[in-house]
Amino acid sequence: MNVIRLAAREFFGMFVDDGSLALLALVLVAIITTAVKLLALPPPIGGALLLIGCLAILLHSVRRAARGTNR
């Protein structure tokens, strides 16, 4: 059973290195999708917000990782 658990953890780790990065990206996509579908936000504006949001999330993740390596 431990071998299966270890293999599953390694497989998951290949796709999700930083859990908060993945979670924040999914939340951002859900918010932008809701805004475009329900609030009639124009898709080009939604796309721009998605790009800006993903870049902000990535910057936050890189800063957090850089702080962790200096200690």
Tokens matching residue 4: 């299966």
Mean local confidence (pLDDT), 55-62: 92
For residue 69, the model assigns a pLDDT of 64
For residue 71, the model assigns a pLDDT of 45
For residue 55, the model assigns a pLDDT of 96
- Average pLDDT in the chain: 87
Confidence check: pLDDT of 1 > 80: no
- Of how many residues is the chain composed? 71
Q: What is the DSSP letter of 1?
A: -
The three state secondary structure string of 14-59 is HHCCCHHHHHHHHHHHHHHHHHHHHCCCCHHHHHHHHHHHHHHHHH
For residue 19, the model assigns a pLDDT of 77
For residue 70, the model assigns a pLDDT of 53
